[in-house]
Amino acid sequence: MITVRGLTKRYGHTLAVDDLTFDVRAGRVTGFLGPNGAGKSTTMRMILGLDHPTRGDALIAGRPYASLRRPLCEVGAMLDARAVHPARSGRAHLVAQARANGIPPRRVDEVLERVGLTKAARRPAGTYSLGMSGRLGVAGALLGDPSVLVLDEPVNGLDPDGVRWIRRLVREQAAQGRTVFLSSHLMSEMQLTADHLVVIGRGRLLGDTSMTAFLAAASPASARAVVPDPEDRAALIRCLTNVDGVNVETSASGELIVEGRTAAEIGDLAHHRRVRLHQLSDVEVSLEQAYMDLTARSVEYTTSGSAAETTAALAKPSRGGRP
C-alpha cells in the first residue's frame, strides 16, 4: 500500500504539488490522471524517494522508500523508459539491477521472457525502439517480484498488442494482491484497466474514487431507445416530455435519446404503455469526457480555441458506449 499525506513540493516560487492526500490500496489498479504540468511525475518521484517533499509524507507499507533495504524486492518502478545506458545491453542492465538487490541471475531471464525481449536481450539498449524500451522498463519493475508497482506511462510506444499485454499484466498483478499505481494519458485504455482513480490538477487533488463512481458522477441519467412504430414513438415521447427534467431527442430512424431517465425507467414506462422497443440501453459517458469536464479549469497548456470547443462538446450527452 502507498500512503500519501499532505504531500507538498515547491521549486522556488512554483508550487508543483499542493497538499496531496490519498491511498493506493493493494488488490486493485489505481489510475493516476492529470493534465501536463499537474504534478503527476513529481508525486511519483517523491513516492520513490527521488525528490524530497517540501512538506508531508509518501510512504510504502508505512515506510519511506529510502529506508527499504532491498527496494526492488518491495517496489517495482518505471518512470522513464529511456533511463538506460545506450551502450549497455538490455540483459546487462537488468543483471546490474539484480546484483545490487541480491536477486538471482536466473530471474533476469525470466522477466526478459515475460516481457518478450529474450531475442533482443543482448542488443545495446540504445538500439531499442520506444516500445522495446518500455518493455525493458517493465522487466526492471518486475525483477524483484515486488508487492508494489509504480508505472509512469507504460504503454508509450507500444503497438495495440503491447497495450493489451500491459493491461493484462497490471490487472493480473492486482488480482494477485499487489498494489498497482499507473499513470497514462490514454483515457480509453485507462477506462479498461483501472479500478480506482486519483485525479490531480495544478498539484491539487481533484478526485479520489472508484472508476464506476467517477463515471456515474460525471453524467446525468440518460438512455437510448429505438421505437420502430411512429405512433408508439409519439406516445412515448408525450409521456416522457410531461415530466420535469426530461429532454428527448429523436432521429429519423426511430431512435430516442432521453436525458433524465435510465433505461430501466424507460423500459417500465414502455411496458406500461404497451410500446414495442427494438433497443434500449443506458448512455455511458466515457472516461475522456468525464476527465475533461473535471480538469477543464486545471489545464496549464491549451491550444487556441480548445476550451470553447471542449465546453461545447461536453454540453452534449455521449451517444456512444465504451470507447
Which of 44, 79, 45, 84 lies closest to 154, judged by CA?
79
- Asked if 204 and 270 sit in the same domain, the reply is no
| pLDDT value at residue 297 | 73
* Residue 58: domain span: 2-216
Residue 217 cell numbers, joined:
458522477
How big is the CA angle at 172 (ends 169 and 178), to the nearest 5 degrees? 110
Indicate the pTM of the whole model.
Answer: 0.79
Is residue 180 in some structural domain? yes
Residue 199 sits in the same domain as residue 96? yes
User: For each successive 10 residues of the chain (323 residues), what is the average pLDDT?
Assistant: 96 95 97 93 96 96 92 94 92 95 94 96 95 95 96 91 94 97 92 95 94 81 87 89 81 82 89 90 82 76 50 43 39
The total number of structural domains that make up the chain = 2
pLDDT at residue number 299 = 67
**Residue ending a domain, choose from 216, 231, 253:** 216
> Angle at Cα 206 formed by Cα 204 and Cα 210, nearest 5°?
135
How far, CA to CA in Å, does 167 sit from each of 8, 161, 193, 243, 291? 31, 10, 6, 43, 20
Same domain? For 140 and 252 the reply is no
Return the CATH number at 265.
Answer: 3.30.70.100
